[in-house]
Structure 1
């Protein structure tokens, strides 16, 4: 996902699983909570240092080390829900989905009205293919925060996982309207439009995103596939050179299909391009 709140922009590469989404993950700030004032000052300093180290490791992509720091913190503050949720985030980033869900469950038991653990747990459930359960978590987030763009975007991802493309399109549109700089919500909306045959609108949105974010590899690769299918070979090739220069994972159809989770029609278009190239 970090991992809960989008920074309403985009990353030049799509991080695996939660981190793009995630994935869809967009990256944002991890949920934080103040260190209890009743701790002795020396203990407060030690806890603050551990928390800083955990965030530093997370920002460096060293999620195993971040998990270890969160575990150390939980030994001292076992009733702090933010620590459970953040350790869950570190575990999701290592594809330890069941263990992450256990952490989110504990965070929810401790803070049932906090939206972040529900959103994070929903993303982990998506990773396990439990889309209906994920939707239930995103619905809970929207009960608590009705204008949360990340919840709408993620619910769109889960609806897409079930093949409910019109519902996905509606959720992506709301997410993008709520947060106009949330580039991945717009990208997901364009991909879903392509899936249902609204190719002109999809192409227009892809081009707009590439114009606004020239280093957006996901949309460069999608534009490549969509243009190739319509016979616009030169523009397709130039976007492909840019896309793989930014993120070579788009050459791996299995990654695009199962990790990035493009819609089937879009995956097929890219497969045709790569095969015939």
Structure 2
């Protein structure tokens, strides 16, 4: 029997695509919706962020310029008038003078020179009565008056200052000693001393009023008599 040597592969031109696979792209049913120039749309879309950044940069530059103008305006603005500045400088000088006189009076008091201390305390009271520190000068003046012998005026000063400086323990303790010895008023003295020692218990210690507060010897003696009830 003769053998057949035929070629079983069909030429490629004889191949057929399956019917479900289209051989070409389907036509666009809406040709009017096609963008004739797709690249122009991409350029437009890409340009939107750049425009926004440019607008933001322009706004920031405008704000910065406005801030600069405001800063320059503030630099040239002074809320304090020349008259107010002059008055403030004058008041500062007066305060410094009053503090200097008060400190000088206390220094002389610590040295035991109560006559000169009285002079400086009086300077503060008469020349700077509009300052609150003049009330503390009145305390020093009362202690000095008590030592130099004018005890009536000293006690009157203490009584007055005990009201204006209520809660200041030194004046309450000094008034207690003076009331007990010079006015023979133990009940009033006890009331004043209770206020003083509630605020500062140190006033029961004679060495404290003598060495730390620099009370005059006569007032230290009066306080001793009150404490010991002699």
| Band the TM-score falls in, shorter-chain normalisation | 0.5 to 0.7
| Structure-2 residue corresponding to 1:15 | none
Match of 1:185 among 134, 137, 150: 137
Structure 1, unaligned runs of 5 or more: 1-143
C-alpha distance in 2 between matches for 1:145 and 1:151: 10
Pair 1:167 & 2:116 matched: yes
Pair 1:211 & 2:160 matched: no
C-alpha distance in 2 between matches for 1:149 and 1:276: 39
* SS, match of residue 167 in structure 2: coil
| Structure-2 residue corresponding to 1:254 | 207
* SS, match of residue 213 in structure 2: coil
C-alpha distance in 2 between matches for 1:146 and 1:246: 28
Structure 2, unaligned runs of 5 or more: 1-92
CA offset digits 1:234-266 (Å, max 9, x no partner): 111111111111111101111111011111111
| Structure-1 residue corresponding to 2:218 | 265
C-alpha distance in 2 between matches for 1:176 and 1:162: 21
CA offset digits 1:168-208 (Å, max 9, x no partner): 10100112223322222110000000001100110111000
**Aligned-CA RMSD value:** 1.9
The TM-score, its normalising length taken from structure 1, stands at 0.45
* SS, match of residue 148 in structure 1: helix
Q: Which runs of 4+ in 1 moved over 4 A?
A: 144-147
Q: Any conservation in 2 of the 1:147–1:178 contact (CA below 8 Å)?
A: no
C-alpha distance in 2 between matches for 1:253 and 1:195: 17
| Structure-2 residue corresponding to 1:128 | none
- Who wins on radius of gyration, i.e. which is larger? 2
Matched positions, count: 134
The TM-score, its normalising length taken from structure 2, stands at 0.54
